[in-house]
Amino acid sequence: MTKAVGGRKVMSVVSQFSPVPFEDQPILDFYNPEAAAFQSQLGEYVPRRIETLMEQAAAGSGKKPFLTTALPNGASATLTFAEVDRHSANLARYLREELKLQKGDVVALQAPNCISNVLAMLGVLRAGLVLTNINPLYTAHETRRQLRDAEVKVLITSSLFPDVAEEAVVGTGIVSVISLSLTDFFSPLKKTVMDFLLQHVKKMGRPLKIHNVPMADALKRGAAHDTPMSLYAKDRDANEDAIFQYSGGTTGISKGVRLTEAGVVTNVEQFASLSPHMIDAPSQTMLLVLPVYHVFGLFSSIIALRNAAHLVLVPSPKPLSNLKAAFRKFRPNAFPGVSTLFAKLMDEAWFYENPPQLTLTISGAMGLNPEVRKQWIGLTGSSVIEGYGMTETTTLISVNPPDTRTRAGSVGMPLPGTAVSILRDDGSFAGPGETGEIVVAGPQVMAGYLGRPETTAAAFHVGWMKTGDVGYLDDDGFLYLVDRIKDMLLVGGFNVFPNEVDAVLATHPGIAEAAVAGVPDGNMGDTMHAFIVRGDPDLTAAEVMAHCASCLTAYKRPRKVHFVDELPKSPIGKVVRRELRAQVKAAAGD
């Protein structure tokens, strides 16, 4: 895994892709700063398409359950693989034949976990169009910004958030709106009762006031056409843009990451090749509480499609008691999640006293606390696969093998077909055990940032994508994370970009200057602190919090407000966030 170059040792680890168990994969002795050279290791591998995955699942498991919406009260609705195949094809036909969308047109999907969410995702991709997922908890301001940036033509939105949709579409290029509901595909009687309870008892949602087409009507109108799905699939090459998944990377305001269909399907295949005896187990039921709009949730959905697994979707895991009925009714044996979710579930009496017996737990989005891992395995009996990745690599870069090779503190080995190396500050490549920026190359790496060629160019170094993370490789090729280069925060598994929060704070008339900084908070990731220089001497913390609540979704809001006389700055006037963090730690006596 090491090689002498110019009298010194450098290190790069490449795993060769093939659909066989990870245990049989060679780790190649490889060094080449022109990362494209390693692509030859992939041979003639041609990734399968989303269309192929859907066809195979419908043909082999047509009558088996695929998608279920599981509500907190125990009510549920389920579609089979054959039904999802038919409905998603009809949605694709509606988008292409009725709305006349063309190759390259963008459709936004903003909804909580439910049948219609995943069905819509599949329909857009099967139509050969480009999908962009929007957080359903976004404010109208945040939603409008993404609609404009991605040049969205059609918005598929939930009736739970009508105010946001109605305000967000103003001033955008939206030509059509499709509305979906948590109660889609429930029986007519159950749907009527559930809709009444949601709207009039829980005060959640209402019919949209702007012109929209309900999902049921869109499917009916699409069914009037018989265009073969193969035509739409051929309309877009597997290596062309399929998803604009928004992420800020390591710095700045959220950007559209250009992902391809080949990248998505290949990343799933790379992951599945690690442990097919677990991933490909028959009759799996996966409980998905991770939001499908997040790249980890989307990835998990495609895993379920590939494996013909039953995917049980919970609209919201808050409060955690929302999951009780789903765990007990569907008895899942696969569960993707994050460290904080596992820890909080084990604190719930109903979960601890009657734990599910899981076969597979997939942990991602943030580091898995070793103690949480130990307790989770002991309670559920599950094997745990922990992955490291980012939106810019579709999802995964490396995985800690789910067997005796697992190394505590490591994020594992590079996925098959993926090259990982460590970059020094001077642009040269580091040797084993030497710390530097983690760089990666592979078929799952993004095509670039949407509409940002300079940002894209800056994200690569002679073919390697720079992750913005600091780490090192040991002599056996295991990867270890050390720190994040930039100031990106990780709050409950989600990226928060300080510049975006700073910009919102700056719009308050009572604030002269403001900056946020994150302080590590154990299993919770980072706690965001806001540092405010008052312009109005009477400004209160409550007013600052209220302002943030009007512009930012919950996890992006500061948790604590500090009023200061000035912000620490560098000689060129840039706020030095590390000094803000130091102030918090000093005040806490650390």
Question: What's the mean pLDDT in 388-408?
Answer: 85
What is the distance, to the nearest Å, from the Cα of residue 117 to the centroid of all Cα atoms in its chain? Answer: 15
Question: What's the mean pLDDT in 222-248?
Answer: 92
Task: Report, at the CATH architecture level, how domain 50-237+282-358 is classified.
Answer: 3-Layer(aba) Sandwich (3.40)
- Alpha-helix runs per DSSP H in 252-291: 261-272, 276-279
Question: What's the mean pLDDT in 292-306?
Answer: 93
Using 50, 70 and 90 to split pLDDT, how confident is the model at 522? low
Find out whether 399 and 442 touch, Cβ atoms under 8 Å.
no
The pLDDT score that the predictor gives to residue 46 is 55
The pLDDT score that the predictor gives to residue 339 is 81
Question: What's the mean pLDDT in 217-235?
Answer: 95
The token pair at 344 is 């909080």
| DSSP H or E stretch at residue 437 | strand 436-441
Judging by beta carbons within 10 Å of its beta carbon (0-12, 13-18, 19+), is residue 588 exposed, middle or buried? exposed
- Neighbouring CB atoms inside 10 A of 570's CB total 9
The token pair at 5 is 């170059």
Tell me what the pLDDT averaged over the chain comes to.
Answer: 86
Could you tell me if residue 542 is left (phi over 0), alpha (psi between -120 and 50 degrees) or otherwise beta?
Answer: alpha
Instruction: For residue 231, give every residue at least 6 positions away whose Cβ sits within 8 Å of its Cβ, in sequence order, or none.
Output: none
| Domains 2-46+410-484 and 489-588 belong to one CATH topology | no
One-letter amino acid identity for 150? A
- Across the beta sheet with 130-133, what order do the strands follow? 213-214, 176-180, 152-158, 106-110, 130-133, 241-247, 255-260, 448-449
The token pair at 291 is 């939001």
Give the CA dihedral 211, 216, 218, 223, nearest 10 degrees.
-160
The HSE-up count of residue 302 (CA atoms within 13 Å, CB side) is: 29
If DSSP codes are grouped into helix, strand and coil, which group holds residue 190? Answer: helix
- pLDDT above 90: residue 33: no
> What's the CATH number for 489-588?
3.30.300.30
What is the distance, to the nearest Å, from the Cα of residue 349 to the centroid of all Cα atoms in its chain? Answer: 29
Judging by beta carbons within 10 Å of its beta carbon (0-12, 13-18, 19+), is residue 282 exposed, middle or buried? exposed
- N- to C-terminal Cα separation, the chain: 40
One-letter amino acid identity for 567? L
The pLDDT score that the predictor gives to residue 251 is 47
Per residue in 124-147, pLDDT (tens digit) is 999 999 999 999 989 999 999 999
Selection from 80, 149, 146, 84 nearest residue 120 by Cα: 84
Instruction: For residue 506, give every residue at least 6 positions away whose Cβ sits within 8 Å of its Cβ, in sequence order, or none.
Output: 513, 514
- pLDDT above 50: residue 38: no
Find out whether 174 and 152 touch, Cβ atoms under 8 Å.
yes
The token pair at 472 is 């090192």
Task: Report, at the CATH architecture level, how domain 2-46+410-484 is classified.
Answer: Roll (2.30)
Per residue in 258-278, pLDDT (tens digit) is 999 999 999 998 888 776 665
- pLDDT above 80: residue 526: yes
Cα→Cα distances 536→12, 199, 255, 513, 564, Å: 55, 40, 33, 11, 13
Selection from 494, 491, 423 nearest residue 461 by Cα: 423
Could you give phi then psi for residue 531, rounded to 5 degrees? -110, 120
The pLDDT score that the predictor gives to residue 567 is 87
- Rounded Cα distance, 439 and 441, in Å: 7
Per residue in 137-180, pLDDT (tens digit) is 899 999 999 999 999 999 999 999 999 999 999 999 999 999 99
The token pair at 302 is 């495609």
The pLDDT score that the predictor gives to residue 213 is 98
Find out whether 153 and 106 touch, Cβ atoms under 8 Å.
yes
0.85 surpassed by pTM: no
- pLDDT above 50: residue 34: no
If DSSP codes are grouped into helix, strand and coil, which group holds residue 74? Answer: coil
Per residue in 54-68, pLDDT (tens digit) is 999 999 999 999 999
Per residue in 63-121, pLDDT (tens digit) is 999 999 999 999 999 999 999 999 999 999 999 999 999 999 999 999 999 999 999 99
- Write down the number of H helices and E strands in the chain: 19, 30
The 3-state secondary structure of 76-122, one letter per residue:
EEEEEHHHHHHHHHHHHHHHHHHCCCCCCCEEEEECCCCHHHHHHHH
- pLDDT above 50: residue 22: no
The HSE-up count of residue 310 (CA atoms within 13 Å, CB side) is: 20
- pLDDT above 80: residue 441: yes
- Rounded Cα distance, 313 and 182, in Å: 10
The pLDDT score that the predictor gives to residue 280 is 66
Find out whether 149 and 247 touch, Cβ atoms under 8 Å.
no
Per-domain residue ranges of the chain: 2-46+410-484, 50-237+282-358, 489-588
- pLDDT above 50: residue 527: yes
The 3-state secondary structure of 480-520, one letter per residue:
EEEEECCCCEEECCEEECHHHHHHHHHCCCCEEEEEEEEEE
Selection from 292, 299, 359 nearest residue 332 by Cα: 359
Question: What's the mean pLDDT in 3-20?
Answer: 45
The pLDDT score that the predictor gives to residue 329 is 97
